[in-house]
Amino acid sequence: MLTKDDHLKAVYSSDIDTFLAKLEVLEQFNQGKFTCKYCKEVITRNNLYAIIPMPDKNVDMCCNRPDCVLSLSEEAK
Ligand SMILES: [Zn+2]
């Protein structure tokens, strides 16, 4: 099982497509079906900051707006 830190690292480090494919959400992502969990902005490769896998196999995503990044880091404490 991954920790929250591992999730964040996985996204920072690298191949977002591989990561999303592993979570079986790559197609949905490419269709613009994910929104920031905080501001509801549609997530693209340009504004993706973090992917947060949820226990129910869904994923939350966070955009790179400073407000949202701050909210995410507060939550990860
Ligand atoms: Zn946001």
Q: How far is the CA of 61 from the centre of ligand 1 (A)?
A: 8
Q: How far is the CA of 67 from the centre of ligand 1 (A)?
A: 7
The angle formed by the CA atoms of residues 59, 6 and 64, to the nearest 5 degrees, is 60
What pLDDT score was predicted for residue 14?
A: 57
Q: How far is the CA of 40 from the centre of ligand 1 (A)?
A: 6
What's the mean pLDDT in 41-67? Answer: 88
0.85 cut: is pTM over it? Answer: no
DSSP state of 36: B
Q: How far is the CA of 50 from the centre of ligand 1 (A)?
A: 10
Say which residue, 49 or 56, is predicted with more confidence: 49
What pLDDT score was predicted for residue 19?
A: 82
What pLDDT score was predicted for residue 20?
A: 87
Q: Where are the domains of the chain?
A: 4-75
Q: How far is the CA of 26 from the centre of ligand 1 (A)?
A: 19
- What is the tens place of the pLDDT at every residue in 15-53? 788 888 888 899 999 999 999 999 999 999 899 988 887
Distance between CA atoms of residues 12 and 14, nearest Å: 6
Q: Write out the DSSP string of 45-59.
A: TTTEEEEEE-TTS-E
